[in-house]
Each structure stands twice: as structure tokens, then as C-alpha cells.
């Protein structure tokens, strides 16, 4: 596939996995989510991938009342494409997870392409906590049910059919090579139409590791399955975020950063904000000779409803 003229930066502002105890920078109040999303757009993000949280506790939320206080503020202050998560959190049903994207008729939403043992890599927790010791029994045996991220073909079909009338562009989250085959199968049975937008999610424990060999394999597989009918981006978890985004941008991919995916600005150093990560990858992309896409250019590249 030809090298993209312009690189789309997505910023995933807060997510559902990190907790406010892990970093003071992680936004969770309505005000902080709005402010950091707006700052990220001003720094160069043309897509904002958004989750909601309880305003008091920071617990992940799919309650539309927890989206309503910040979505209009972001739309009023920026022209960025709003991308609402349908990942929700690991314990929720697919119906609950897709409700916010359907209710607010988002321009984009995530679409997770397979079930997995979703976990952040335990070694990532070592940064900033020298006393922390990994307790396999406590983390992954006693709590093992909590780690299943369920996205069966029935779940995917339900999400696709419910959201189809809203003309939403999907960010197809593929955490491993097999998820690309799931996506191809779903296209073959008519659930999704080209051109598609694929997010290579790398470095989540339970999915493919974040390294260059794996990125090349993901891209070659996607080229084989989708030909010219796809655009792609990378999201690498933890401290691999910026290095892998840099590599992907040189391979013609778009990039996703944000505190949902990594709390770090570099290995061992916590980021101050989402905008700091956006500014860093923007600087790198531009220094390497590419330009970043404006929101309207992102709409054109991804063929959004606009
Ligand atoms: N947290 C990311 C690794 C979603 O929101 O649908 C994946 C994600 C899932 O963004
Ligand atoms: Zn997300």
C-alpha cells in the first residue's frame, strides 16, 4: 500500500484500564477529560478516542450521563473527530458497551475484533514502584475471570448491526494476527464494508508483543487480506508507544498515543498530559519529513461521513 501523504494522530485520552492511583496526569473528571482532550487536539490530534469515567471515583463508565458533560465541550472547542469507545470495560455486556456510541451518533467508534485475556503487562507496573512484586496468583489466578475481554462473533455482529444505521466509521482494534482474519471473515459475510480502518494494538498481555518483526507481520498480513482497501494505525502499550508509533509512521501507518495506552512520555518517566504525548509524536513525524493530518484531512483519508 502506498505511503500515506499525511499522518493521522489519534489521542486516546483516558481509557478504562489505568486507574487514577497510577498517575496524577490521568484525567477522569468531566472537566479534566474535556480540558485534556481539547489540549490534545490543539497539539495535533485529529481524532479523539474517548471513554467516560465516574466524575467522583474515576471508575470506568458507559453511562451516557457521564459522557454528556464533556462531549459538547470538546465538539464546541475543537474540530477533531470524536471516536467513542465500545470497549467499555471488561465486565460489561456488548449492549452496554455500544450504547454511548449509538446514543451520541459518533463519527467513529472502536470495534474490538476478538476475545482475549486482556491485561497490561505486569512488568510495566515496576516503573515508579520499586517495592512492587508481581504476584501471579493474586493478579491472574484469583482474578482470572476479570481478564477475559469478550468479543465473540455474535458480539461483533450485534455491535455492527446496531451501529450500522448511524453510519459510524469503525476503528477495528486487532490485538493479534488472528484478529485480522476475524475482520476479513466479518467483511466476507457482509458485516463491514471497505475501506476499513485497522488499529494494530501491540503490547497488551494476551495479544501480540510490541516489536518491529511483529509490526511487519501484521502489516504484511493486512496487505494480503485487505489489499488497497484499508488504512491502518498503530497503538503500542506502555513505554513502547512512541518508538513503535515512530516506526509505523515511516511505514505509511497512522499513529495513536494517549494516556489510555501509556502513562509514560519515555521509558521510566510518567507523561504530564495527553497533549505532551501528542506533541512528542507530532514533532518526531514532522522532523522525519511527514506532515500531520488536520481533522478534515483525517475525515477524507478515512472516508468518514463528515
Ligand atoms: N485500551 C486499548 C488497548 C476500546 O476502547 O474499544 C484498546 C481500546 C479498546 O481502545
Ligand atoms: Zn479505548
Specify the residue for cell string 508481581: 134
Decide if 238 is inside a domain.
Answer: yes
* C-alpha to C-alpha distance for 285 and 254, rounded to whole angstroms: 10
Decide if 295 is inside a domain.
Answer: yes
Q: What is the ipTM of this complex?
A: 0.94
- The percentage of residues in the chain with a pLDDT greater than 70, rounded to a whole number, is 91
In this prediction, residues 117-135 reach a mean pLDDT of 64
pTM: 0.95
Confirm or reject: Cβ of 265 under 6 Å from ligand 1.
no
pLDDT > 60? residue 124: no
pLDDT > 80? residue 113: yes
Considering every ligand atom shown, identify the ligand nearest to the alpha carbon of residue 201 and give its number: 1
Using only the alpha carbons of the chain, give its radius of gyration. 18
Task: Output the pLDDT for position 142.
Answer: 63
pLDDT band at 1 (very low <50, low <70, confident <90, very high): very low
Pocket probe mutation, ligand 1, options 10, 15, 92, 96, max atoms within 8 Å of Cβ: 15
Residue 226's domain is classified under what CATH number? 3.20.20.70
Decide if 109 is inside a domain.
Answer: yes
The range of the structural domain enclosing residue 181 comes to 6-302
Decide if 1 is inside a domain.
Answer: no
What are the distances in angstroms from CA 15 to CA 68, 274, 289? 17, 12, 31
Confirm or reject: Cβ of 260 under 6 Å from ligand 1.
yes
pLDDT band at 224 (very low <50, low <70, confident <90, very high): very high
Q: How many domains does the chain have?
A: 1
Amino acid at each position: 500500500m502506498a505511503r500515506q501523504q499525511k499522518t493521522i494522530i489519534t489521542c486516546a485520552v483516558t481509557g478504562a484500564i489505568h486507574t487514577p492511583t497510577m498517575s496524577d496526569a490521568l484525567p477522569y473528571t468531566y472537566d479534566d477529560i474535556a480540558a485534556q482532550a481539547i489540549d490534545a487536539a490543539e497539539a495535533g490530534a485529529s481524532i479523539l478516542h474517548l471513554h467516560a469515567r465516574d466524575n467522583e471515583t474515576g471508575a470506568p463508565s458507559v453511562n451516557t450521563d457521564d459522557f454528556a458533560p464533556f462531549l459538547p465541550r470538546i465538539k464546541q472547542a475543537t474540530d477533531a473527530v470524536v471516536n467513542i469507545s465500545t470497549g467499555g470495560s471488561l465486565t460489561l455486556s456488548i449492549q452496554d458497551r455500544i450504547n454511548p456510541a449509538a446514543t451520541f451518533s459518533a463519527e467513529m467508534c472502536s470495534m474490538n475484533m476478538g476475545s482475549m485475556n486482556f491485561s497490561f503487562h505486569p512488568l510495566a507496573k515496576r516503573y515508579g514502584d520499586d517495592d512492587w512484586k508481581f504476584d501471579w496468583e493474586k493478579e491472574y489466578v484469583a482474578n482470572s475471570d476479570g481478564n477475559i475481554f469478550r468479543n465473540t462473533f455474535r458480539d461483533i455482529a450485534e455491535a455492527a448491526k446496531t451501529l450500522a444505521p448511524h453510519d459510524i466509521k469503525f476503528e477495528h482494534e486487532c490485538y493479534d494476527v488472528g484478529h485480522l482474519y476475524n475482520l476479513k471473515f466479518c467483511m466476507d459475510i457482509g458485516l463491514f464494508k471497505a475501506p476499513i480502518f485497522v488499529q494494530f494494538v501491540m503490547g497488551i498481555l494476551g495479544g501480540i508483543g510490541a516489536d518491529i518483526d511483529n509490526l511487519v507481520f501484521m502489516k504484511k498480513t493486512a496487505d494480503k487480506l485487505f489489499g488497497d482497501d484499508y488504512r491502518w494505525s498503530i497503538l503500542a502499550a506502555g513505554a513502547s508507544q512512541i518508538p513503535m508509533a515512530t516506526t509505523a509512521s515511516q511505514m505509511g501507518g497512522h499513529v495513536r498515543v494517549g494516556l489510555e495506552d501509556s502513562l509514560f512520555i519515555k521509558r521510566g518517566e510518567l507523561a504530564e498530559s495527553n497533549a505532551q504525548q501528542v506533541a512528542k509524536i507530532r514533532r518526531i513525524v514532522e522532523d522525519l519529513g511527514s506532515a500531520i493530518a488536520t481533522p478534515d484531512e483525517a475525515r477524507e483519508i478515512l472516508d468518514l461521513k463528515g
